[in-house]
Amino acid sequence: MAMSVGSGGEDAPMSDINTTPLVDVMLVLLIIFLITIPVVVKKVPLKVPTIVYQPTVTKAENVILSVRGESDGSCGVYWGQSRVNASQLLSKAAAKFKNEADRLGPNVTDPNLFPEVHIRGDQNTPYRCIGGTISIMQSAGFIRVGFISEPKGGTATR
């Protein structure tokens, strides 16, 4: 117990506030809230919004390639609906990139303005087919290469 030794005598008013009851009340409230809040949160029914898949909108100048591994071990690359080999892919890609670069003008350096390559690859396609296609498209001048996938559930909407 603390004892106050002062010069004021016994008739002087005590100027210290006793904070012990305040701390006791605050601790009790803290414990009550810690116990009751998790119970309240668990019982509140919530309906979480579902994510709606929105397909990627492609610009007309973007190149869409389909790549798959063939049964003979070769890589099948399709520009639109027509199959192309590596040399045809490089020449078509270089011509496409040059046409788009000429259309944009010589002073355009923003890579976001140039066309993109979107690759749709079968899940059983060997990596060498996808990697080779990416390498050819980058050597033709395309900077941005992306992949097209289906949302979980297997169906894409348009």
pLDDT tens digits in sequence order for the chain, 158 residues long: 555 555 556 777 777 888 899 999 999 999 998 888 776 555 555 565 666 665 655 566 788 888 888 888 888 899 888 889 989 999 999 999 888 888 888 787 777 778 889 888 877 788 898 899 999 999 998 888 888 876 666 555 44
Q: Is residue 40 part of a domain?
A: no
Q: Which domain covers residue 67, as residue numbers?
A: 63-147
Sign of CA dihedral 138, 144, 150, 152: positive
Q: Strands 82-84 and 117-121: what pairing? A: unpaired
- In the chain, the amino acid numbered 63 is V
Q: Is residue 121 part of a domain?
A: yes
Q: Tell whether the torsion through CA atoms of 37, 38, 44 and 47 is positive or negative.
A: positive
Question: Would residue 1 count as lying in a domain?
Answer: no
d(C-alpha 67, C-alpha 76), whole Å: 6
Say if 98 falls within a structural domain. Answer: yes
- 112 in a structural domain: yes
Q: How many domains is the chain built from?
A: 1
CATH of the domain at 131: 3.30.420.270
Q: Is residue 54 part of a domain?
A: no
Collect all residues with Cβ–Cβ distance below 8 Å to 134 and sequence separation of at least 6.
117, 119, 145
Give the whole-angstrom CA distance, residue 38 versus residue 127.
Answer: 49
